[in-house]
């Protein structure tokens, strides 16, 4: 029978972060979990890990949510003990649904890969052992949200419907430009002004402070190619953006970097069609820079980005977020 050790201070968090899969200690501290747990077997070996959040969790339907994140388990029995104990603890905190894996909110790492296919992982893609979805489903969790990544194999494919959209937005005075790589922080402030509005209706959305948003995206500075970050503007105001970056994981595999990743697309509600136009423009720019493919990453099943992607792309990967009523 395994036992749970609760970790709190920095010294105790070091073994928590060193457990597989390894985590960044500063990042774990910034994510401000309410509790951190290690599952230890009779030989004092770590066989599982998770963190719990029950304060300041995002809204979901009529539930009070408890989150299970920083998840890791060596085998099925350990996962079962860990998830069962987590649900008991969250129920004791008056939560009515447990959701995981999610490291505090959707701005952090969340979801598990459920269908991986044969393609290698791309940069910033959440990875997990193939058995993890089964750990959740075997312990009473069901998928409450599904996500998809797709890949465009031909960047010259056009959506003819966008011609009329481009004409309309151009007539309104909407312009699209590439980000200024030397003024990244200022560009991120413009991007934040759109994201804070456009993401409000996303599943399990939590607001984030501007400085935290900037710090999170600025950490990607070494990966960014400014030509692939697009801002749409109207009357001096940013009204949409597309954030893309090269798939540098190809370089880590000693491959040519010929693919870029469309990580985020967002537009203000009154600018219909602008998201599709930003994606099309990113394909054109990517092709001009020598890229051959584009990955449209981690789209919610009901998101407009997925409908845009269907004009160009084929399935690459699937992911899920799991929930269990308490």
Q: What is the mean pLDDT of residues 4-30?
A: 82
Residue/partner pairs of 86-94 with CB below 8 Å, 24 or more apart:
86/37, 86/50, 86/52, 87/140, 87/324, 87/326, 89/35, 89/52, 90/52, 90/54, 90/66, 90/326, 91/326, 93/54, 93/66, 94/54, 94/64
How far is residue 104's CA from residue 110's CA, in Å, rounded to a whole number?
A: 9
- The whole-number pLDDT of residue 9 equals 60
- pLDDT of amino acid 1: 59
The DSSP bridge pattern shows strands 175-178 and 229-234 to be: antiparallel
Q: Report pLDDT for 42.
A: 85
Span 142-157, average pLDDT: 95
Binning pLDDT at 50, 70 and 90, where does residue 11 land? low
CA distance 66 to 68: 7
Q: Nearest-CA neighbor of 17 among 63, 70, 66?
A: 70
User: 111 vs 44, 61, 188, CA distance in Å?
Assistant: 29, 19, 25
* Residue 52: predicted pLDDT: 96
CA quadruple 275, 280, 286, 289: dihedral, nearest 10 = -120
pLDDT in tens, 72-115: 998 999 999 999 999 999 999 999 999 999 999 999 999 999 99
Distance CA 64, CA 316 (A): 34
The predicted pLDDT at position 7 comes to: 66
- pLDDT reading at 136 higher than 70: yes
- What's residue 10's pLDDT? 59
Q: What is the pLDDT of residues 217-269, one digit of tens each?
A: 888 999 999 999 999 999 999 999 999 999 999 999 999 999 999 999 999 99
262 touches 296 (CB < 8 A):
yes
Answer whether residue 303 shows pLDDT above 80: no
Q: Go through the domains of the chain in sequence order and give each one's CATH number.
A: 3-110 (3.40.630.30), 151-319 (3.40.630.30)
310 pLDDT tier (thresholds 50, 70, 90): confident
28 burial type by CB count under 10 A (0-12 exposed, 13-18 middle, 19+ buried): buried
Q: Distance between CA atoms of 222 and 237, rounded to whole angstroms?
A: 27
Given this model, what pLDDT does residue 160 score?
A: 87
């Amino acid at each position: 029978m395994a036992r749970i050790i609760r970790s709190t201070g920095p010294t105790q968090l070091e073994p928590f972060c060193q457990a597989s899969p390894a985590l960044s200690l500063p990042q774990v501290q910034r994510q401000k979990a309410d509790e951190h747990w290690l599952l230890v077997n009779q030989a004092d070996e770590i066989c599982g890990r998770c963190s719990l959040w029950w304060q300041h969790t995002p809204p979901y339907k009529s539930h009070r949510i408890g989150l299970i994140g920083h998840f890791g388990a060596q085998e099925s029995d350990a996962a079962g003990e860990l998830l069962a104990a987590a649900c008991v603890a969250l129920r004791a905190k008056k939560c009515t649904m447990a959701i995981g894996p999610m490291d505090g909110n959707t701005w952090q790492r969340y979801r598990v890969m459920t269908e991986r296919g044969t393609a290698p992982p791309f940069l910033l893609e959440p990875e997990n052992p193939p058995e993890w979805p089964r750990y959740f489903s075997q312990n009473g969790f069901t998928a409450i949200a599904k996500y998809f990544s797709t890949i465009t194999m031909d960047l010259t494919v056009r959506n003819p419907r966008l011609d009329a959209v481009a004409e309309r937005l151009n007539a309104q005075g909407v312009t699209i430009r590439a980000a200024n790589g030397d003024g990244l922080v200022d560009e991120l402030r413009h991007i934040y002004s759109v994201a804070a509005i456009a993401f409000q209706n996303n599943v399990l959305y939590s607001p984030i402070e501007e400085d935290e948003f900037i710090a999170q995206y600025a950490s990607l500075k070494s990966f960014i190619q400014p030509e692939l970050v697009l801002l749409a503007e109207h009357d001096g105001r940013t009204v949409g953006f597309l954030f893309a970056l090269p798939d540098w994981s190809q370089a880590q595999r000693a491959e040519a970097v010929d693919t870029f990743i469309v990580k985020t697309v967002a537009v203000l509600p009154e600018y219909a069609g602008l998201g599709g136009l930003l994606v099309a423009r990113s394909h054109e720019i990517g092709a001009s820079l020598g890229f051959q493919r584009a990955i449209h990453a981690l789209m919610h099943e009901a998101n407009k980005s997925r409908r845009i992607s269907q004009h160009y792309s084929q399935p690459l990967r699937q992911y899920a977020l799991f929930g269990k009523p308490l």
